[in-house]
Amino acid sequence: MAGMELTVGLRGEVVVTVGVDDTAERVGSGDVPVLATPRLVALAEAATVRAVAGRLGEGRTSVGTRVELAHRAASPVGTRVTVAAELTAVDGRRLSFAVSATDGRGTVLGDGLVERVVVDRERFLDALSR
């Protein structure tokens, strides 16, 4: 798409400290006070958004279409979590990212892939109101 400045290798990162609101107990995905899988998915998507921020062209955004994530280790409240995304493929409007999450000790907390599609923001929102 014209106006996009997307190249394989673009990276984005999100760093958070797990809080009570991030836990499985709080989001309803379990009953233990550790980082919830749905919250990890949201962080992975946020990292992909950061990877392409400012590069999609005027009036464009990206929307998530696919997530495959293995949640490999538990992270209790207070754990510092870094989620990184790397753009691995650009196929027209479809963007593919490798994502990984680690803690301060380098333990892999999760990894997988996220796919997004570039859309015209106004047309996307207009279609929702029909």
* C-alpha–C-alpha distance, residues 16 and 113, integer Å: 20
- Whole-angstrom CA distances from 17 to 21, 61, 76 are 11, 27, 10
The rounded distance, in Å, linking the Cα atoms of 58 and 33 is 42
Q: What is the set of active-site residues?
A: 37, 45, 71
